[in-house]
Amino acid sequence: MTIINYSDLENLREKYKDKKIVYCGGVFDITHAGHVIFLKIAGNMEMS
């Protein structure tokens, strides 16, 4: 798991400028199939 501070977002955006960054809020203490489906859907979303 990675915890990212808000102050680091600008540097991450530059580092991964050719990649899509998706923010997902929630608690994933015990990962199950529903979490995996949720994360796959979030990864396929596009911001307009």
- The per-residue pLDDT for range 23-47, each reduced to its tens digit, is 777 776 787 898 889 888 887 877 6
Residue 13 maps to a domain: yes
Number of domains in the chain: 1
Q: What is the pLDDT of residue 43?
A: 79
Q: Is pLDDT at 48 greater than 60 in this prediction?
A: no
In this structure, what token pair is assigned to residue 25?
Answer: 């809020």
Mean pLDDT on 20-24: 72
Q: What is the pLDDT of residue 28?
A: 67
* Rounded Cα gap, residues 30 and 10, in angstroms: 30
Residue 1 maps to a domain: no
DSSP 6: G
Q: Which domain holds residue 32?
A: 6-44
Q: Reduced to 3 states, what is the DSSP secondary structure of residue 41?
A: helix
